[in-house]
Structure 1
Amino acid sequence: MDFKQLKAFLTVADTGSVTRASELLHVVQPAVSRQLKLLEEDLGCALFERERHGMVLTEQGQELASYARRAFGELEKARVQLAGTHQEVTGLVTIGLLPSTCDVVSSALVAALASRYPGIKLRLTVAYAGTLKQWLASGQVDVALLYAAEKHPDLVLEPLIEEALWGLGPKGCGIAGATAVRMADMAGRALVLPSNPHGIRLLVEHACALENLQLNICVETDALPVQRSVVIDGLGYTILPPIAVVSDLAAGRLEGAPLTEPELKRVIALAHASNRSMTKPVRATVAVLRQILETAVASGGWPSGKWLAATSASTSQA
């Protein structure tokens, strides 16, 4: 097994085609096929199923792809970091974001790093908490924003922001202007919620169980854009932190108010793997990220958010 074979393997996995992979790698098609054959012979298993619509990874191929992507990711980090000077902070940093946080974080973080640490190459990934935990454990992301609902033995969690969950509905639904909306009122409406074991779904189900309420779920979706659009189109209601739909609330496309009886809150935490220390570029990026989040809460850009961590001025710098 060598890196040329792995690069050919990943390119075919990404494109689903030996022909397309050969074009991207600037080599002839038989050379790509030979690299795959040598790799399969070395490992003693088939990595692809050759189907009519293209090359599909086998179970063994999917496992190898996970290892190979991590290996290439670590090499890219080393290349970027070693290519910089000793005076500036350089390196590849991968940040994992929850879908509900990416809008308020992504552009601000890119702009701040470009100004303060131009030698840092930033990679942003967006996924739900369960996937982000897996990526942290495997080293595919350096740090991530997660729900701090429970401890995890492999992660170090620093709670940053506590925020209320809101009941949300389409324009004209009657929630606008309310100081709160009762959970009993939301539970009986046609709800659009993520599936289990999404953190918000678990919070809502637990609250309803305590109050002996039956949820009326009309649609399950793990895609935040789908969740938003279904509610905006008047086809249901949902429960989310307002930061997830802040632009829709401001534009009047959605109406909402904090949940009550009971109140529901979630905590956003900064997480990193307990078995890996932060590199200098990761520490620098984390310091900037914390400042962005703290500023968003203080300025009202994070609706219903309460800052839990020590202020950025008192945290250690990179």
Structure 2
Amino acid sequence: MSSLNSDDLACFVCVANTQSISRAALELGADQSTVSRQITRLEAALDTRLFHRSGRGVVLTEAGATLLGYARQVAATLSEARAAMRASSAQGPAQLVIAAQPTIANTAFAAIGTALKERYPATKLRFVEGLASPILSWLAAGDIDVALLYLPEQQGALKVDVLLEEDLTLVTPASWSHVGPTFQARRLGEVPLILPSTNSGLRMLAEALATRVGITLNMAMECDASNAVSMRLVEDGCGATLLPFAAVADRVAQGRLHSARLIDPVVTRQVAVATARNRPAVAELWDVMQTVRQSVRKTVMSGAWPGARLI
């Protein structure tokens, strides 16, 4: 015996209400042959005739009249379920934890928090800042729900949605008047650099760039502290660093630092919103991700994420 399905039952109710295959087809936006097949399939599943057919339309059999009561109960239950799901979606998850790397967090968290609180006022939001490696571990362990991070080389355990890309810039003391608005990447070996240690994504990117252009990085010092500490070291003349323009825009505007876009080649990093493949998703995650994406898009389009380009 074939199994029943809600689509066939909904079609049956429509035919019973209109007492016509053709009128039911018009209401359902289907052709008559499709409606006839659904009724035939339902009759085969129940092993009984549901309608008496004539040139003037269709009339329920006794079995059909019995089924109509149950079919209407099913339709009502499905309608209640859809309403309950919509209400749940509107309320949002009970708690949502979002992590980001420091530059991204500083630029995006305020706008994302505002958008999510407006969309889900009852949701408890928690924002976490961290480097790429801990963030990936937190995602895998289920300690966070969503991450905003620079796209890692290996993405096997992640579901990612790329949001934007940024050019990497050479950030120098404001007093380095010999550095212009752009700087050739192949000349980075001439610059004393302040970068994180080798387990950092930024350091690995810098090392890969050096290999690509055939130079050796001139490391003045390593700094695994925040970007703010690295920028203070640069301000004090200890060397230069590599950061996206958004990280230093305020200090450049204040005349405390100088930023030069890397060229020959241009060096870019992509920012993505990510979730873990091996963890169960929080409720309404798709809608949460859309809200995050829209918030980031508005931030970039407003100019509040300097140097970013939407993808």
TM-score by length of 2: 0.67
- How far apart are 1:236 and its partner, in Å? 1.1
- Counterpart of 2:118 (choices 112, 115, 120) is 115
- How far apart are 1:95 and its partner, in Å? 0.5
Partner of 2:109: 106
Partner of 1:190: 192
Conserved in 2, the CA contact under 8 Å of 1:120 and 1:281? no
User: 1:102-251 to 2 correspondence within 5 Å?
Assistant: 102-174=105-177, 178-223=180-225, 224-251=227-254
CA distance in 2, matches of 1:159, 1:186: 28
CA distance in 1, matches of 2:257, 2:213: 27
Alpha-carbon displacement from aligned partner over 1:116-142 (angstroms, at most 9, x marks no partner): 321111111111111111110000110
User: Residues 285, 249 of structure 1: CA spacing in aligned structure 2 closer, same or farther, 3 A cutoff?
Assistant: farther
Alpha-carbon displacement from aligned partner over 1:25-72 (angstroms, at most 9, x marks no partner): xxxxxxxxxxxxxxxxxxxxxxxxxxxxxxxxxxxxxxxxxxxxxxxx
Larger Rg: 2
Alpha-carbon displacement from aligned partner over 1:269-311 (angstroms, at most 9, x marks no partner): 1110112343335444322221221122222222221211xxx
- How far apart are 1:89 and its partner, in Å? 2.2
- How far apart are 1:162 and its partner, in Å? 1.1
| 1:154 alignment partner AA | A
CA distance in 1, matches of 2:257, 2:92: 42
User: Residues 298, 85 of structure 1: CA spacing in aligned structure 2 closer, same or farther, 3 A cutoff?
Assistant: closer
Q: Does 1:295 align with 2:309?
A: no
| 1:118 alignment partner AA | P
CA distance in 1, matches of 2:198, 2:107: 25
Conserved in 1, the CA contact under 8 Å of 2:91 and 2:123? no
Percent of residue pairs bearing the same amino acid type: 32
CA distance in 2, matches of 1:287, 1:252: 37
Partner of 1:273: 276
CA distance in 1, matches of 2:90, 2:264: 55
Partner of 1:91: 94
Conserved in 1, the CA contact under 8 Å of 2:181 and 2:259? no
Q: Secondary structure at the match of 2:140?
A: helix
Structure 2 gap segments, 5+ residues each: 1-86
Conserved in 2, the CA contact under 8 Å of 1:109 and 1:292? yes
Conserved in 1, the CA contact under 8 Å of 2:93 and 2:282? no
Partner of 2:266: 263
Conserved in 1, the CA contact under 8 Å of 2:95 and 2:123? yes
CA distance in 2, matches of 1:124, 1:87: 21
CA distance in 1, matches of 2:260, 2:303: 16
CA distance in 1, matches of 2:285, 2:309: 25
Q: Secondary structure at the match of 2:91?
A: coil
- How far apart are 1:186 and its partner, in Å? 3.0
Q: Which moved more, 1:192-201 or 1:299-308?
A: 299-308
Structure 1 gap segments, 5+ residues each: 1-83, 309-318
Alpha-carbon displacement from aligned partner over 1:222-243 (angstroms, at most 9, x marks no partner): 2222111101222211111112
Q: Secondary structure at the match of 1:197?
A: coil
User: Residues 121, 209 of structure 1: CA spacing in aligned structure 2 closer, same or farther, 3 A cutoff?
Assistant: same
- How far apart are 1:152 and its partner, in Å? 2.4
CA distance in 2, matches of 1:220, 1:173: 21
User: Residues 258, 87 of structure 1: CA spacing in aligned structure 2 closer, same or farther, 3 A cutoff?
Assistant: closer
Q: Aligned Cα RMSD in Å?
A: 2.1
Conserved in 2, the CA contact under 8 Å of 1:93 and 1:282? no
| 2:188 alignment partner AA | M
